[in-house]
Amino acid sequence: MEIKNFTIEDLTRLTKNGKVSVKEIAESVIKEIEKNEDTIHAFISIDKEKILKNAEELDKKEKKGKLYGVPVAIKDNMNLADTETTAGSKILKGYISPYTATAVEKIINEGALIVGKTNMDEFAMGSSTENSAFFKTRNPVNPEYVPGGSSGGSAAAVSANEAITALGSDTGGSIREPAAFCGVVGLKPTYGRVSRYGLIAFASSLDQIGPFAKNVKDAAIMLEVISGFDWHDETSVNREDIDFTSLIGEEIKGKKIGLIREVSDFQIQKEVKSSLEKTANLLQKSGAEIVDVSIPHLKYALPAYYIIAPSEASANLARFDGVRYGLFSEGKNLRETYEKTRTEGFGTEVKRRILIGTFALSAGYYDAYYLKASKVRRLIEKDFEKAFEKADVLLTPTTSKTAFKIGEITDPLEMYMNDIFTIPVSLAGLPAISIPAGKDEKGLPIGMQLIGKWFAEKELLQIAYALEKGLK
């Protein structure tokens, strides 16, 4: 069988009907990995023998679960018991997880076949997966280009058919941006919708686990599996509305789609701008109404984010000292041991963000930087609240331009600009989905972002599905 021709629904139906075994699926996945992985480098760790062994065990079990027999890749900042978890960093090389992250455990309980751990920007800090301590992942559409980041390995694995679906994490756009660059669907849930327990923290008030998939319905199925309250994570929300597929296929007549006025203030690649117009027209033809909305503080989102996120990273990464786990570089005393371990273990981008965050939180600067950024964050939330009084969902490009060549961007500020349309959504804790919406003149995918109201993923996915159908 050719794994690339199937979706989650297809595979679960075939396996449960006994028309195909999980071992056959595993063999097909391994075939795709052997064909592509030497070029793409989507995975940090992969064990082909273990994949086959787990497949054989699944074949012996009762054929049940929303993901029975479905090959799933996991971003390497999520713990999987008895497996190395590095978060793309030398400082965690050799760290073996003693437990499994809640989101990962949920997909295993639904019968998923774990393929491996995917490459990522170190500690999820990056927009290209060039910041991994081990190697760069390449875009399956064109290997000369980046796959986006920080979840570039997960996006590339789905795009290259090395997995049917994958888990990533999104702090400022790390699911949506690589989904756009690789031409797949990427969904960031509302903050608190999915447990963060077992996810190695970057910025705790922003991090959220979400799925990559080949289509909107597969993303909805994955979200149904991983959603829900978890007593291990006090930021997870106890809600019963975890049915995300029942409205898929329903018409969207009368739905109001908001176009953000301030988006035009930014420089956008001509093909991306054209795709935005085409997408809005398609939604209008489907019966939706296009309305004008304003997010006045949109331009302040990027600077606010790059104070808040590094500040939280500075606190979260203080635990990596070489004493309890991971890399250990012995010095003459404890201070020198810390310095040597962190100097050798952390990469350039991680060090940069730790320094920014430590400075922003330091005495005399907290009020001037972190406190002001937090106030701006609240203003952005209020902007979205007002916008949603007029619209059911908002439409923007996922990124202002398509994928860039590996090594092309060396200026950190230019790199940060890649997330200009995804970061405001993260600051507000909103759900959003990136959908493939055509290609540029180089054949590189373009992504469109739909932004939903807080905990309104069901409606968001209904509209996303209608758009996806119209774009085909």
CATH number of domain containing 291: 3.90.1300.10
List residues bridging with 114 in a β-sheet: 72
pLDDT above 70: percentage of residues in the chain: 100
Any catalytic annotation for residue 174?
A: yes
Any catalytic annotation for residue 150?
A: yes
Query: For residue 219, what are the CA distances in angstroms to 58, 109, 437?
Result: 23, 17, 16
Query: For residues 410 and 168, is the Cβ–Cβ distance under 8 A?
Result: no
Question: Which residue type, as a one-letter code, is found at position 305?
Answer: Y
Interatomic CA distance for residues 175 and 425, integer angstroms:
12
Average pLDDT over residues 340-368: 93
What range does the domain containing 174 cover?
1-472
Query: Given 28, 128, 159, 174, which residue is catalytic?
Result: 174
Tell me the two tokens of residue 132: 């991994």
Q: Are strands 445-452 and 393-397 parallel, antiparallel or unpaired?
A: antiparallel
Instruction: Please provide residue 436's backbone torsions phi and psi, each rounded to the nearest 5 degrees.
Output: -60, 130
Query: For residues 295 and 262, is the Cβ–Cβ distance under 8 A?
Result: yes
Mean pLDDT of the chain: 96
Residue 3: predicted pLDDT: 77
Per-residue pLDDT tens for 50-75?
A: 999 999 999 999 999 999 999 999 99
**E strand or H helix that includes residue 44:** strand 43-46
For 364-402, give one letter per residue: b (16+ CB within 10 A) or e.
eeeeebbebbeebbeebbebbeebbeebbbbbbbbbbbb
Residues 6+ positions from 339 with CB-CB distance below 8 Å: 331
Please tell me the least confidently modeled range out of 48-62, 98-112, 321-335, 374-388. Answer: 321-335
Query: For residues 200 and 325, is the Cβ–Cβ distance under 8 A?
Result: no
Smallest Cα–Cα separation from 226: which of 274, 175, 277, 295?
Answer: 175
Average pLDDT over residues 149-163: 97
Tell me the two tokens of residue 123: 């500690």
Q: Is the pLDDT of residue 1 over 90?
A: no
Query: For residue 239, what are the CA distances in angstroms to 107, 192, 322, 390?
Result: 19, 10, 39, 25
The model's confidence at residue 403, banded by pLDDT at 50, 70 and 90, is very high
The model's confidence at residue 325, banded by pLDDT at 50, 70 and 90, is confident
Q: Is the pLDDT of residue 323 over 90?
A: no
pLDDT above 90: percentage of residues in the chain: 93
Query: Given 89, 127, 150, 311, which residue is catalytic?
Result: 150
Per-residue pLDDT tens for 166-188?
A: 999 999 999 999 999 999 999 99
Per-residue pLDDT tens for 200-253?
A: 999 999 999 999 999 999 999 999 999 999 999 999 999 988 899 999 999 999
Structure letter (DSSP) for residue 138: -
Q: Is the pLDDT of residue 2 over 90?
A: no
Tell me the two tokens of residue 234: 């006090």
Q: Are strands 71-75 and 165-170 parallel, antiparallel or unpaired?
A: parallel
Query: For residues 118 and 73, is the Cβ–Cβ distance under 8 A?
Result: yes
Query: Given 75, 117, 214, 255, which residue is catalytic?
Result: 75
Q: How many domains does one find in the chain?
A: 1
Any catalytic annotation for residue 75?
A: yes
Tell me the two tokens of residue 137: 């992942």
Query: For residues 209 and 78, is the Cβ–Cβ distance under 8 A?
Result: yes
Query: For residues 22 and 15, is the Cβ–Cβ distance under 8 A?
Result: yes
Q: Is the pLDDT of residue 322 over 90?
A: no
